[in-house]
Structures are given as structure tokens and as C-alpha cells.
């Protein structure tokens, strides 16, 4: 199968590659064309995943595609942006039709879930890797930045943490357990759900936001640095994945929740008077701490001890 036939068969023909919405022209020309409504800004983010670095060489192609698109789209959620579409630059060792069909199928599932359209890309031969660039739109001036947290704001997260990190031994095949809890964890890893609606609901309300990809402590450090404040987290208030607690116990689950990455749950700061309205509307907003004067991140443990968290995150102070 040649390059053009491959593109046509697996990507241009996909349901998610149809033009529509803000996509005026999709795959097939030299560029895609997007409509950005007046008064809105274009939000753009790109992510590369390399086999053997970001995912195991032999993983399921459908799951890989789902995860790649979810992880990239999560950056739009973190900005409060509405998804428009994405490009896919794919480097493949071979044109393996079974692999490509599975990959395209996984992409289709996550694109439908995120209301994303495939608008173009590039296809090359080489060691397996992929670069996805996502495009979204956000009302001018309303994007959720990392830099707006104020002293006195609440620190919140959009849901339970730790599941994806807890799944890593299963993903890497270091551990085999196909019980219900293990399956739930694997699903969290391979099919994270970008919190797009929550991000949009936080526009004009949250003062800073990001999606947790490197771990709660490390990512809160990014908000603290960008905003010039200190974020204090109360360990007891950090919501943990129930399946994870069932599987490895409270203490190890907390380690995953604080330092494990890959959950793609939103973390954000919120003026106290915005909390009741968001909770009344049913948004999954969980308060885990506060914004204080100073810098960095601190963790209040169950015993009331304050642990300063270094720039390298949890490892730094546990050493």
C-alpha cells in the first residue's frame, strides 16, 4: 500500500475527517481551513509520543490512538477551549493494515467523544511515533492561564486522582491482574476523558488552570511559579480513585495521587465566592487547598505536618 492510498483509506475516509463545524476544508489540499468566529482566539497545542519512551512498543493500536488524542485534547480543556480539530503526523515502521485499522478505529472513538475532527497530517516511514496538534477556540481574553492565581483563592481538582499512575505496572506488563479494579485502572490510563465541559464552565471563574499530566504536586508547582504564589494542599482532601484504593491501599494510592501523572484531571484556582455556584450546577469541583503568599507547593499531611515540596516534586522531599 502506498502513502497516498494509506492516507485515503485509513484517515481521509474516517468519519472524524469529514469537514463541518468550524472546519471548512479538511484533508486533501495543501492546508486545512478553519473558521474562527469573531471575538474568539485560536488555542493550539502539540504533543509527540514516541514508542518505547511514551508507550510500550507492542501496545494495542486502538488504545494508543485513543490515549494520544485524549492527552492532546486535554490541553484544550485546560485552557477552557472548545475543540475544533487536530492534525496527525504519523511515523510508521511499516504499512501494517491490521495495525492501521485498529489505530484509525481508536482515533474515531476518541474524536467522537471529544467532538474533534481530523483535519490533516503527515505520514512518514521510520520508528513508530506520532505528533498530534490540536486546535480549539476560546472567547478572546477568557482562556484559562496558569498565571492568574490570587492569594486567598481555593485550590481545586476536577475529580479523583492516581488511577493512571496506579495502572502503570499493568500497562508495562509487570503485573497481571484482570480483576474489575485493575480493568478500571487500565481504562483510566488508556482512555482518559479530557474535562472539556468543565474547562469551558470555568471560563471567567477560575483564576488559573492546567491539566494534571506530570502529577498533582509537580503541576501545582507550575501554577505557583506562573502566578507568583504558594499553593498549599491538604493531603486528606485529595480525592483518590476508589478502584486504586481498593487495589493497592490508601497509602500507596495517595503516593500515586500526589506524584503520579497521566490522570488529565483539571487542577485550578477559584475565588471562594465562585465555589457554591459551580457545585450547585453539578460540576465536579473538589477543594484540596488554598493559595497563599510565597512560592512553591506545600503539603499538609494527616498529622498536621507541613512538608515543603521541592521543584522536583515529591521525590525531592521524600529522599
Q: Which is nearer to ligand ADP, 2 or 304 (CB)?
A: 2
- Among 121, 115, 163, 114, smallest CA distance to 10 is for 121
Q: Does 208 bind ligand ADP (CB under 6 A)?
A: no
Residue 120 interacts with which of ligand ADP, Mg ion, none, CB < 5 to 8 Å by class: ligand ADP
Other beta carbons less than 10 A from residue 159's beta carbon: 18
Which CB, 118 or 309, lies closer to ligand ADP? 118
Bridging pattern class, strands 266-270 and 286-292: unpaired
Helix (H) or strand (E) holding 306: strand 306-309
> Scanning residues 13 to 72, which ones bind ligand ADP (CB under 6 A)?
27-30
- Residues 290-319 contacting Mg ion, CB under 5 A: none
Report the run of H or E that residue 154 belongs to, with start and end: strand 154-157
The C-alpha atoms of residue 202 and residue 215 are separated, in whole angstroms, by: 21
Q: Binding-site residue total for ligand ADP (CB under 6 A)? A: 13
Shortest Cβ 122–Mg ion spacing (Å): 4
CB nearer ligand ADP, residue 41 or residue 123? 123
Residues 98-127 that bind Mg ion (CB under 5 A): 122
| CB-based closest residue to Mg ion | 122
Q: Which stretch binds ligand ADP (CB under 6 A): 46-54, 114-122, 245-253, 266-274?
A: 114-122
91 binds, among ligand ADP, Mg ion, none (CB under 5 to 8 A by kind): none
How far is C-alpha 16 from the geometric centre of its chain's CA atoms?
Answer: 20
Which listed residue (61, 65, 118, 256) binds ligand ADP by CB under 6 A? 118
Neighbour order of strands in the sheet with 82-92: 40-50, 129-139, 82-92, 118-125
Pairing of strands 82-92, 118-125: parallel
For the chain, report the end-to-end CA distance as a whole number of angstroms: 53
Rg (CA), the chain: 20
Interatomic CA distance for residues 207 and 145, integer angstroms? 8
Please identify, using beta-carbon distances, which residue of 28 and 179 lies nearer to Mg ion: 28
The 89-108 site mask, x for binding ligand ADP (CB under 6 A), equals -x------------------
Binding site for Mg ion (CB under 5 A): 122
Binding site for ligand ADP (CB under 6 A): 7, 11, 27-30, 88, 90, 118, 120-123
Amino acid at each position: 500500500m502506498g502513502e497516498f492510498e494509506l492516507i485515503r483509506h485509513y484517515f481521509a475516509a474516517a468519519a472524524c475527517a469529514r469537514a463541518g463545524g468550524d472546519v471548512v476544508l479538511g484533508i486533501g489540499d495543501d492546508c486545512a481551513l478553519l473558521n474562527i468566529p469573531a471575538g474568539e482566539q485560536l488555542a493550539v497545542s502539540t504533543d509527540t509520543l514516541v514508542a518505547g519512551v511514551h508507550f510500550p512498543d507492542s501496545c494495542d493500536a486502538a488504545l494508543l490512538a485513543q490515549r494520544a488524542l485524549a492527552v492532546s485534547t486535554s490541553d484544550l480543556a485546560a485552557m477552557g477551549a472548545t475543540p475544533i480539530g487536530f492534525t496527525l503526523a504519523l511515523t510508521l515502521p511499516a504499512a501494517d493494515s491490521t495495525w492501521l485499522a485498529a489505530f484509525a478505529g481508536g482515533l474515531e472513538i476518541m474524536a467522537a467523544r471529544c467532538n474533534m475532527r481530523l483535519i490533516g497530517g503527515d505520514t512518514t516511514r521510520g520508528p513508530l511515533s506520532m505528533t498530534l496538534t490540536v486546535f480549539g477556540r476560546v472567547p478572546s481574553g477568557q482562556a484559562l492561564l496558569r498565571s492568574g492565581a490570587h492569594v486567598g483563592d481555593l485550590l481545586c481538582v476536577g475529580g479523583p486522582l492516581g488511577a493512571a499512575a496506579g495502572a502503570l505496572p499493568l500497562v508495562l506488563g509487570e503485573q497481571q491482574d484482570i480483576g474489575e479494579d485493575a480493568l478500571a485502572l487500565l481504562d483510566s490510563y488508556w482512555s482518559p476523558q479530557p474535562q472539556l465541559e468543565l474547562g469551558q464552565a470555568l471560563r471567567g471563574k477560575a483564576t488559573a488552570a492546567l491539566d494534571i499530566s506530570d502529577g498533582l504536586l509537580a503541576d501545582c508547582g507550575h501554577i505557583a511559579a506562573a502566578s507568583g504564589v504558594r499553593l498549599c494542599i491538604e493531603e486528606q482532601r485529595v480525592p483518590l480513585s476508589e478502584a486504586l484504593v481498593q487495589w493497592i491501599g490508601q497509602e500507596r494510592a495517595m503516593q500515586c495521587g500526589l506524584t503520579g501523572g497521566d490522570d488529565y484531571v483539571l487542577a485550578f484556582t477559584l475565588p471562594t465566592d465562585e465555589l457554591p455556584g459551580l457545585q450547585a450546577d453539578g460540576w465536579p469541583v473538589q477543594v484540596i487547598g488554598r493559595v497563599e503568599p510565597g512560592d512553591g507547593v506545600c503539603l499538609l499531611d494527616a498529622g498536621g505536618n507541613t512538608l515543603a515540596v521541592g521543584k522536583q516534586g515529591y521525590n525531592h522531599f521524600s529522599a
